[in-house]
Amino acid sequence: MTEAKSYKDTVNLPQTQFSMRANAVKREPELQKYWQDQQIYQRLSQTNPGDSFILHDGPPYANGALHIGHALNKILKDIINKYKLLQGYKVRYVPGWDCHGLPIELKVLQAMDAEERQALTPIKLRRKARKFALKTVDQQRQGFQRYGVWGDWDHPYLTLTPEYEAAQIGVFGQMVLKGYIYRGMKPVHWSPSSQTALAEAELEYPEGHTSRSLYAAFPLTKATDSVEAKLKPYLVDLGVAIWTTTPWTIPGNLAVAVNPELTYAIVEVSEKSASQEAEKSSKPSKTKAKGFAPTQDEDSLESESADFDTEAEGFKYLIVAAELVERLSQTLDKDLTVKTTLKGQELDQCTYRHPLFDRESPIVIGGDYITTESGTGLVHTAPGHGQEDYIVGQRYNLPIISPVDGNGDFTTEAGPFAGLNVLRNANPAVIDALKEAGSFLKEENYIHKYPYDWRTKEPTIFRATEQWFASVDGFREEVMKAIQSVNWIPSQGENRITAMVSERSDWCISRQRSWGVPIPVFYDEETNEPLLTEETIAHVQGIIAEKGSDAWWELPVTELLPESYRNNGRTYRKGTDTMDVWFDSGSSWAGVVQEREELSYPVDMYLEGSDQHRGWFQSSILTSVATNGCAPYKSVLTHGFVLDEQGRKMSKSVGNVVDPATIIEGGKNHKQEPPYGADMLRLWVSSVDYSVDVPIGQGILKQLSDIYRKIRNTARFLLGNLHDFDPAKNAVAYEQLPELDRYMLHRITEVFGEVTEAFDSYQFFRFFQTVQNFCVVDLSNFYLDMAKDRLYISHPDSVRRRSCQTVLAIALENLARSIAPVLCHTAEDIWQYLPYPTPYKSVFESGWVQLDETWKKPELVEKWTRLRAIRTEVNKVLEQARAEKMIGSSLEAKVLLHVPDTQLRQQLRKLNPSGIPRLWLQTPKPELMVMGEEPEAALASETLSLDTGEQEWNVNQILSTVLTTLRQVFSENQRVWLTVGVVVGVPITLKVTATVLASIARLPLLADMLQLVGVGYSGWFVNRYLLRAPNRQELAEKARSLKTEVLGEGSPQPEPETAEPEAAPPAPVQPQPRILGERFTVLSNGVDELRYLFLASQVEVLDSPDAIENADYRSQSEQVWVGIVKAEGEKCDRCWNYSPFVGKIIEHPTICERCRAALAGQW
């Protein structure tokens, strides 16, 4: 016996150096260096053919390490920028940093000991702050670059540079000249812990703050003429009931405000009955809520609602809102009986006496903020301690009293309370004083939101101080119009910023800190009047442009003043206030965009967190509209905050902080915190709906790593199967592609069209879902699963294989392009491993996805959607058979299929050519003869359509081939059983085929007729020629004679020769329609067949489901019946398909007819 041959080396296995593992910690920095060395971003931003695209960077604070919120923000920006670059835009991205302000100053101060802080001068502090900021900028820059973010990192903008500071002074100067800047005594958010005024954007409002709320009564002293008659009976014993959550502000009280539209009641106060008292005592006590650290006095509160006896002995009557009488009766634990009512408007200008200070104050008309949701309906008003209070006070020309210093301590103006801290021990003292004065009604804890300093995390207060303001009222309407001109993403952002701007007060732009841009104002030493003119501002601006803002602290006043003010007989001093850091960053459109030639104003987009509606978005549009009359941006995109996997805010104390550096490089324990690389972080950004708060954690990262691995392995498979393919030489024309390939090209246009729409609409989670689905469902589970047979088994240069590689190359290149904005390192890695040359050094030079409109074939979708649905059903039954060990793989199966839909069944039959008669042709090599019957499996790769005339066949050639074959059989096979086995069908085939081919235009191929002819002729032929040896010899002689008589001696007519162009590359091997594997031809292209769709060796489409009912493994639905039986034939050593031909090819007895054809270069 001859030794079995090995066909391992004849199989086209994938070949690529593209690693299955990303090894991101090592590979990503290598790719980043490649980008830098090749200047990819720099060249594209200059040479791309499209328009410019400017996404202006909102500057992060240079005050610490990067956190996960930074990563979300910067990666979102980079995804957009890279997408625009791929689309051909000239993208110019200038990263920036906010380098001034309290956050950095606090970091510097925290690093000093008490003695050093004591000796610190403003200029020393500024130098230390500058050094700290620049160091932090370098650290953060490296982190951002490690994320794969592209930009002009060598020339970022810093708010501490002289040119930027000078531009900011210029913006301030323009607003001064337009009358929008003024100095005034107003209540502002003041942080005692930071000792400076704060803007709204510098506040936090945490839940659960506990205040000591107070009900008190001020004695009414005088009624106006319009209500005197109503009030006179009660005036002696009448108190104005108020409610406040800040008892410490009572010393600053100068009015009580009412709502003019509300109805107020004069109520008589009396003790509750005994039965009511008993009911009260049976109620459980309440739990004390959390709040400030309690003082000794506060500790005496034993419940959330501490009860005291009403000591307002003179107040037999109280004025309260009529709607609140019943509720207040319960709160105060008193019976309140309504004696009379009146409108709030009627109380205007009535007066009361302050219970703690010797002054009378008016009842005034407030605004809509006075409601009946809480309190008494009358609001204690202290113009020095509240914004609404201040506005009302201005309307009534009330003075401003704010007896609190920068530390939050009462000044001597507060009388007996001087020295007490308003956030610690002032509240109990004020309450005790009200008790002694007989004005106390009730005290209880009140849990609500309260403004905190966002840096120190300590409560703030309202305190009236001399500050510089931008008068928003002066240009509010213009801002509202500008907001409407902007594209807000998501759209609700417009409503949010509109509400904020419409309701906001004037902008306090001054800060009492040293590290910042100075407000360039001088004060007259004698009058204290400010000096702020066009000339003085311009002069200071020029100095700062040359020397930086340190010059304000280093130079004497005489040098900072213009020449005309140096000897005018007046003496001036420099102001010590600096500008709000939101004015710093809010001027970036002037300090960066208008200063750099490559940028354009207004920019295309601002992109930051949703908190910037009251921060950078707002400060930028305020300064821009105030000076230029337009918004500085065309679009604004906002994202949410990052939470942990349970949806909780990240906190070091909770231990749920996710560090982006740990995600990239890994933690101390790589098993618990693996090094995922930057692309995993970027994939997470693309996977979430950034318009809301987004979660992250190790569980989420693990899921994403599995998805990333599938995308990477899909790309690796594509690369490996293109190792011998060059699109310029080997691509198959679209018209020659099998239908499956044309359907896949249609799917590619659909998929990458959806990806493009996702990027255009900034819905990156749609990109994530679409690409994931494409790689897993369309490629791995469908097309590539079917393609393995073509890629591995076919002749390397066959159309069957090259057509598949054509599709793979298109899919791979567009996959790399489409993931490049997000998985930039992976996309570049794929591109660098392309096995064929391209004109591009980088995937980013290749442009966006490239699709051909001719690939769109919607008519294929319905057919292949139904086929894929049937495939899903077949796979379920195959899996069941595999799970129960009937088969090891699907190739061991034969699929029985029945569909009730006649039209669909006909389509399936066209995809199942195994049952269609084959033409047996002569082989030029006798040793390649097949010993046996025609196999049921598909054998060729080009369709022959007998009823459409797609191929022209020469009858003489066919007859010659058949007769030659017959003669060889008779001469080599003398045994009866072999002769009968080989020859019985040949005359039948000859007779029927000759008739059909000669009369094809007019004779229908009717199955019943053919069967009748075949049976009758077979019986006669066996009896006449095969039963006895002499008769068989006679048959052989007749065959030789017939060939000579009909055809003449010789071989079949040769094929006409076709000249090939000398310079043309070798074309893919075209299947020969006459000879398959030098032996057969069939009605198939070797691709669009059911057995390849199901990955089975054989498929039989049945007219009736009867045979399926006997299958061991089957399924049934309204659309399809599926049965699984063992495949017929033996297993091919080369392709592992089962075929009746295995063992019957003399030269290759262990392989099937398909593999024999592939080895011969014909399939």
Distance of CA 153 to the CA centre of its chain: 24
Beta bridge mates, 463: 188
Instruction: Give the tokens for residue 512.
Output: 């009492």
| φ, ψ for residue 790, nearest 5 deg | -65, -45
Number of Cβ within a 10 Å radius of residue 1140? 19
| φ, ψ for residue 710, nearest 5 deg | -65, -40
Contacts 24+ apart (CB under 8 A), 479-486: 479/621, 479/622, 479/625, 482/621, 482/624, 482/625, 482/629, 482/630, 482/631, 483/621, 483/631, 485/630, 485/631, 486/631, 486/633, 486/634, 486/635, 486/636
User: 127 and 89 in contact (C-beta within 8 Å)?
Assistant: no
Give strand ranges (E) for 330-411: 334-343, 351-353, 360-365, 378-381
Alpha-carbon distance of 874 to 881, in angstroms, equals: 11
What are the C-alpha distances in Å from 905 to residues 738, 848, 1121? 20, 41, 11
The verdict on whether residue 824 carries a ligand-binding annotation is no
Which residues have C-beta within 8 Å of that of residue 1063, sequence separation ≥ 6? Answer: none
Is residue 133 helix, strand or coil? helix
Burial class (CB in 10 A: 0-12, 13-18, 19+), 925: exposed
Which amino acid appears at position 463 of this protein? R
| φ, ψ for residue 651, nearest 5 deg | -150, 135
Q: For the CA atoms of the chain, what is the radius of gyration?
A: 45
Region for 203 from its dihedrals, namely left if φ exceeds 0, alpha if ψ lies in -120 to 50, beta otherwise: beta
Alpha-carbon distance of 430 to 315, in angstroms, equals: 19
Q: By C-alpha distance, which of 154, 47, 151 is closest to 90?
A: 47
Distance of CA 754 to the CA centre of its chain: 15
Region for 1087 from its dihedrals, namely left if φ exceeds 0, alpha if ψ lies in -120 to 50, beta otherwise: alpha
User: 156 and 96 in contact (C-beta within 8 Å)?
Assistant: yes
The verdict on whether residue 1155 carries a ligand-binding annotation is yes
The verdict on whether residue 608 carries a ligand-binding annotation is yes
Alpha-carbon distance of 539 to 537, in angstroms, equals: 5
User: 732 and 799 in contact (C-beta within 8 Å)?
Assistant: yes
User: 262 and 365 in contact (C-beta within 8 Å)?
Assistant: no
DSSP one-letter code for 690: T
Instruction: Give the tokens for residue 288.
Output: 């004390």
| Ranges of H-type helices in 338-437 | 387-395, 426-436
The verdict on whether residue 1132 carries a ligand-binding annotation is yes
Alpha-carbon distance of 883 to 898, in angstroms, equals: 23
Alpha-carbon distance of 817 to 824, in angstroms, equals: 9
Alpha-carbon distance of 150 to 57, in angstroms, equals: 12
Number of Cβ within a 10 Å radius of residue 527? 8
Sign of CA dihedral 498, 503, 507, 512: negative
Which helix (H) or strand (E) element contains residue 524? Answer: strand 522-524
Which residues have C-beta within 8 Å of that of residue 246, sequence separation ≥ 6? Answer: 211, 385, 427
DSSP one-letter code for 798: B
| φ, ψ for residue 245, nearest 5 deg | -100, 0
Known binding-site residue numbers for Zn(2+): 1132, 1135, 1152, 1155
Q: Binding site membership: which residues?
A: 608, 652, 1132, 1135, 1152, 1155
Q: Which residues are annotated as a binding site for L-isoleucyl-5'-AMP?
A: 608
Residues contributing to the annotated binding site for ATP: 652
